[in-house]
Amino acid sequence: MRKIKNILLKIEYDGTNYRGWQRQASRELKGENDSLTVQEVIETALKDILKEKVSLISSGRTDAGVHAKSQYANFRAATSIPLNKMGMAINALLPSDIRVLSVRRVPDSFHSRYDVKTKVYRYVILNRKYCSVFLRQYVLHIPKPQLDVSVMQKESKVLIGRHDFKSFQASDKKVRGSIRTIKDISVKKSRGLILIDVEADGFLYNMVRNIVGTLIEVGRGKRPKNSLKNILLVRDRRCAGPTVPAKGLTLLKVRYKNDKT
């Protein structure tokens, strides 16, 4: 009898054509990318290879249109296929906008979601007159005015620490608690791009996109000094900025408690 293995995948994907990461309940695969989720596509490939149905457990869901440079997902299967060949076999069945970067066996106790220490998301803004043909699906283009990155960086620091982020939570989503801990946040300019990186122990729905929308208003001079501090305190979504488009957001890193990755 073959022993069941706990297998961890490191995955990257362009989320443009997908309805996010998570499999949709009670829905059959139809074959068109725009009706699928990333999880469904990978699970279908694994079923063809392993000849059994598997369920991927990811580090967390990403929403429709959001990309991932380092998503992790584990599954259990009784397979004799060498893991150094499994990645190539999976990729042969995947579309070109999803790739498995590594396959490895992890301890039976490892859980891709529950063992996460922090995650890092990056939002990218192209702040110049004309957009780029090659970047248009991965950035928010703001032609003018030039955003004041130094002010955005200074104001963003008030978000570091453990706070109630209800003001930056999507108003139509109900969760038990809105307290999260942001470990670090940075706003910097690099080669014409504004990169906003947020590392936290967890994220509310649309939390990063709402924070970025607020920081953009700060960078435009539309909000006064200490406005983010006041927005945190009022715990009212209506007081924060708009939700920016998903296409500028990427899951950049996942850090685990015991460095299993």
The set of catalytic residues is: 63
Query: 7 has which bridge partners?
Result: 75, 105
What the block records as the tokens of 142 is: 């703001």
Rounded to whole angstroms, how far apart are CA atoms 236 and 129?
34
CA pair distance 244, 74, nearest whole angstrom: 31
85 vs 8: CA distance, rounded Å:
14
Q: Is the peptide bond before 143 cis (omega within 30 degrees of 0)?
A: no
* CB distance 79 to 50 below 8 Å: yes
State the sign of the Cα–Cα–Cα–Cα dihedral 199, 15, 192, 148: negative
Using CA atoms, how far apart are residues 38 and 153, in angstroms rounded to an integer?
33
Token pair recorded at residue 31: 């074959």
Q: What tokens appear for 34 in the block?
A: 């725009």
Burial label for 104, CB within 10 Å (0-12, 13-18, 19+), is: middle
